[in-house]
Structure 1
Amino acid sequence: MVETGQLNRLKVIREVEFGVYLEGGREGGILLPRAEVPAGTRLGDRLQVFVYLDTNDMPIATTKRPRAQVGQFANLKVAEVNEVGAFLDWGLPKDLFLPYNEQTRRLKPGESVTVFLYLDNTGRIAATTKLEKHFDPAAEYHQGQLVELLVWRRTDIGYLVILDNRAQALLHQQDIHRPVRVGQRLPGFVKQVREDGKITVMLEKPGYARVDPLAQQVLNYLEARNGFCALGDKSDPDAIREIFGVSKKAYKMALGQLMKSGRIRQDEKGIHLLD
């Protein structure tokens, strides 16, 4: 079954001058335009594509990856505002529609806004800034759990964040020890789940002694990647800067702090997180 607004793995069933048709959809298949057909594609191959509706409300496929799929939250930039609503840049040629009745305030081109993607009653992909109704009340979390955070909005006491596209939580100001901005995605940890279900999170793993912000960034990177990073203290400076945004000297100092505190070990393959 083809899911609009999602990544699908679909079989090539027909080739035409202007592209290929993939299984599913109306009128004999879903078009993947010629410019996006991978080189060497043959009948029967399965391609991973994103399916959405074109300007004629017909399903169309693309190998491009949008910044979010239906059922997910994202922070997107407003590309245009007109008499029917706002249109958001989500990485595809056709901008994402945000109707006026799904806005909590009027938006201006160039600003960014956090939205949830859904299918409207006609099957079109749309966005809403009314996020609360799309959180999962059955979502369960426990203290110390590693989660993905999407920073939603600033409050008087910190930031509201979205956990794993499922729930909301508070990142308290007292638990922020490095720059954080709205729209940023970063790993974090559940700090507390209260009896009323409200969740607080932090950027460091609970129970550990606090380390410098860069050292904590390295720990978070390791936590999110099964405890391994190929970048050691002898790695290429450009590779270190690309991943962590710092000089090799600063990175080596952070690794030294973590090894001294018994948090990581290093070998010829890279660095490893210790329990």
Structure 2
Amino acid sequence: MIQVGKINELQVCSQFPFGFQLRDPNAEDQFDEQMVTLLSSDAPAELKTGATVNVFVLPDETGALVAKTTPPAILAGQTKVLRAVNATHFGAFFDWGLDKDLLVPTQYQEASIDPGRYYVVHAFYDKKTQRILGATRLHYFLEEHNDDLAPKQNVSALVYAKTELGFKVVIDERFTGVIFHSDAFKPLRIGEQVDAFVKEIREDGKLNIALQRTDKVGRSNLEEAIIEDLEAHGGISTLTDKAQPDEIYSRFQVSKAAYKKALGALYKQRKIVIDKQAVRLNSNKG
């Protein structure tokens, strides 16, 4: 079955002066299968009848299916960061790499959209209008409740909104969650993708996300990372407990508070020595 808004492997069933007709080679009834048109200008060189080709399928202005060999920046079902290029009373348009921009209708907008700015957009195929559309109102399409994730699990989080409590994020392109300000030890930007952890699954199934683990495993991993970093740099580092938070995050992706605790633990274990200028591996552990 042909999936509109996605990549399909289709077979060339006929050729015309203007291009090719494609079909699903696995369709049970080829006579009822809808045809897809691939223009010669979009087709690979020397494409012939019987060959298969991977194409992005979308409807044209009449609702007929057409194919593109170069896919857009976002497929139906995906959530990506796109740039708004225009806004009208009925919707906003986003650059997604095709000749015609992706429409985000007003009813699918979380807030008003300003051209030139970047937003997190979810793409979907609307069967009613037979168009591929976008949405910034993500909770219409992504799950707020989770059955697959577990506490302390690593996730990828895409920031899509800022609130008084913290930041709303898209988790692994499937769920929505929140990073509270107390768990966001560095500034976050809309559209930023960060590595994170499931901090808590609330009683209602919604997800609280954190940028770093603060449990025993997280502390142990950070201590090991500090030792490995020292060993890789000749046993010395100028990243002391007085370093700036952004310097620490750039090196270890943790907060300054977590880094200072890890240094303190390593010092107590006599694995390192610390002075005002540097952190050093302890060569006299005995």
Partner of 2:210: 202
* 1:125 is aligned to 2:135: no
Partner of 1:258: none
Q: What is the CA–CA distance in structure 1 between the aligned matches of 2:166 and 2:134, rounded to whole Å?
A: 26
One-letter identity of the residue aligned with 1:77: R
Q: Percent identity?
A: 30
Go from structure 1 to structure 2 and tell me whether the alpha carbon gap of 1:33 and 1:144 turns closer, same or farther (over 3 Å shift).
farther
Of residues 23, 30, 35, the one that matches 2:36 is 30
Q: CA RMSD in A?
A: 3.3
Give the CA deviation at 1:118: 2.4
Residue 208 of structure 1 aligns to a residue whose secondary structure is helix
Residue 94 of structure 2 aligns to a residue whose secondary structure is strand
Partner of 1:159: 167
Of residues 67, 91, 101, the one that matches 1:61 is 67
Residue 218 of structure 2 aligns to a residue whose secondary structure is coil
One-letter identity of the residue aligned with 2:21: Y
Partner of 1:103: 109
Unaligned runs of 5+ in 1: 217-231, 234-250, 255-260, 262-275
Go from structure 1 to structure 2 and tell me whether the alpha carbon gap of 1:203 and 1:138 turns closer, same or farther (over 3 Å shift).
closer
Q: Where do residues 1-275 of structure 1 align in structure 2 (5 Å cutoff)?
A: 1-24=1-24, 29-120=35-126, 121-136=128-143, 139-140=146-147, 141-204=149-212, 207-209=217-219, 211=222
Q: TM-score, normalised by structure 1?
A: 0.68
One-letter identity of the residue aligned with 1:56: T
Q: What is the CA–CA distance in structure 1 between the aligned matches of 2:177 and 2:86, rounded to whole Å?
A: 31
Q: What is the CA–CA distance in structure 2 between the aligned matches of 1:204 and 1:35, rounded to whole Å?
A: 49
Give the CA deviation at 1:177: 4.5
Go from structure 1 to structure 2 and tell me whether the alpha carbon gap of 1:186 and 1:137 turns closer, same or farther (over 3 Å shift).
closer
Give the CA deviation at 1:83: 4.2
Deviations along 1:162-209, one digit per CA (max 9) or x if unpaired, are 112221111233333555321123332212212221212233356322
Q: What is the CA–CA distance in structure 2 between the aligned matches of 1:54 and 1:136, rounded to whole Å?
A: 30
Give the CA deviation at 1:88: 1.2
Q: What is the CA–CA distance in structure 1 between the aligned matches of 2:87 and 2:22, rounded to whole Å?
A: 34
Q: What is the CA–CA distance in structure 2 between the aligned matches of 1:102 and 1:6, rounded to whole Å?
A: 21
Go from structure 1 to structure 2 and tell me whether the alpha carbon gap of 1:105 and 1:137 turns closer, same or farther (over 3 Å shift).
closer
Go from structure 1 to structure 2 and tell me whether the alpha carbon gap of 1:44 and 1:180 turns closer, same or farther (over 3 Å shift).
farther
Q: TM-score, normalised by structure 2?
A: 0.66
Native 8 Å contact 1:139 1:166 kept in 2 = no
One-letter identity of the residue aligned with 2:178: L
Go from structure 1 to structure 2 and tell me whether the alpha carbon gap of 1:180 and 1:63 turns closer, same or farther (over 3 Å shift).
farther
Q: What is the CA–CA distance in structure 2 between the aligned matches of 1:84 and 1:191, rounded to whole Å?
A: 39
Q: What is the CA–CA distance in structure 2 between the aligned matches of 1:105 and 1:48, rounded to whole Å?
A: 36
Give the CA deviation at 1:124: 1.0
Partner of 1:272: none
Q: What is the CA–CA distance in structure 2 between the aligned matches of 1:181 and 1:159, rounded to whole Å?
A: 9
Unaligned runs of 5+ in 2: 25-29, 227-231, 234-249, 253-265, 267-286
Question: Once structures 1 and 2 are overlaid, which stretch shifts more, 178-187 or 93-102?
Answer: 178-187
Q: What is the CA–CA distance in structure 1 between the aligned matches of 2:111 and 2:185, rounded to whole Å?
A: 31
One-letter identity of the residue aligned with 2:130: G
Number of aligned positions between the proteins: 221
Native 8 Å contact 1:176 1:203 kept in 2 = yes
Go from structure 1 to structure 2 and tell me whether the alpha carbon gap of 1:186 and 1:47 turns closer, same or farther (over 3 Å shift).
farther
One-letter identity of the residue aligned with 2:99: P
Bigger Rg, which one? 2
